[in-house]
Amino acid sequence: MKKIAKVLFIVLFLGKNIQLFAQNNRINTRESIGWYNYFGTFKLTSKVSLHTEYQWRRNNFITTWQQSLLRTGINYQLRPNVLFRVGYAWIETFPYGEIPINGLGRDFTEHRIFQMAQLTQKEGVVDISHRFMLEQRFVGRYSSASEEQEDEFPLLHRMRYMVRLQMPLKGTLIKDKTPYVALYDEVFIGFGQNVNANVFDQNRIGILLGYRFNKHIRVEAGYLNQIVQFGRQINGQPVFQNNNGLILNAYLTY
């Protein structure tokens, strides 16, 4: 229980301090978002599987676009508690909200290559996972207002760390026909030559209720808080976007 308490403290400490940091800046915007996500894993061999994923990210909960994210990859299960993944993602970001992310108020495309390592452990009835990711992001931008499409794709580097805790609401294991609760925090840090005004890129906190129907299907729904720092400033001031809303996840495993 002491280890669980320490991990939980780290989750809450990271999220709370990042929120306080964001609130102390002069320019803050707020949006209401809804993320509706599919995750699929399809086993190819005893250790190798295919990862598929689509995230339908909406603003005003569901009425307008925030982002479209399609991601795929290859998993390698080194050990029961150690998973590696490499893959590719295609992201479309739209000019949503009070202050659009793109300075010209336009949508933009991102092509992303990523590498991931995930470590899992069990402490009593609590399952804990640690996910580490490196991303090489080719983010589209417009060299001038006269350009109708992105004509530059500079390379941006980002690292991510997520800690997630989940536990069954009945019994001691999450198995078939078991409800559960989950809490996670993920921080994003930019680095490298082309990092802009946002070394701190964003932070996400989620609180979820889940249900495992069987070994193939489980679903989750809950609350998501996302803080995004723009890669640009306005009048020399950093811009933070504070998003709160709904998240719905569906997982398929075969």
pLDDT digits (tens, 9 = 90+) for 220-239: 999 999 999 999 999 889 99
Decide if 203 contacts 14 (C-beta within 8 A): yes
Q: Indicate the class that CATH gives domain 2-213+226-231.
A: mainly beta
pLDDT digits (tens, 9 = 90+) for 101-148: 999 999 999 999 999 999 999 999 999 999 999 999 999 999 999 999
* Other beta carbons within 10 Å of 13: 11
Query: Domain limits of the chain?
Result: 2-213+226-231
Distance between start and end Cα atoms, the chain: 33
Alpha-carbon distance of 182 to 180, in angstroms, equals 7
Q: Which of 112, 113, 54, 115 is nearest to 84 (CA)?
A: 115
* Other beta carbons within 10 Å of 207: 13
Burial per residue of 163-174, b for 16 or more beta-carbon CB atoms within 10 angstroms, e otherwise: bbbbbbeeeeeb
C-alpha torsion sign, points 61, 113, 230, 106: negative
Q: Tens digit of pLDDT per residue, the chain (254 long)?
A: 555 545 555 555 555 555 554 455 579 999 999 999 999 999 999 999 999 999 999 999 999 999 999 999 999 999 999 999 999 999 999 999 999 999 999 999 999 999 999 999 999 999 999 999 999 999 999 999 999 999 999 999 999 999 999 999 999 999 999 999 999 999 999 999 888 878 999 999 999 999 999 999 999 999 999 999 999 999 889 999 999 999 999 999 99
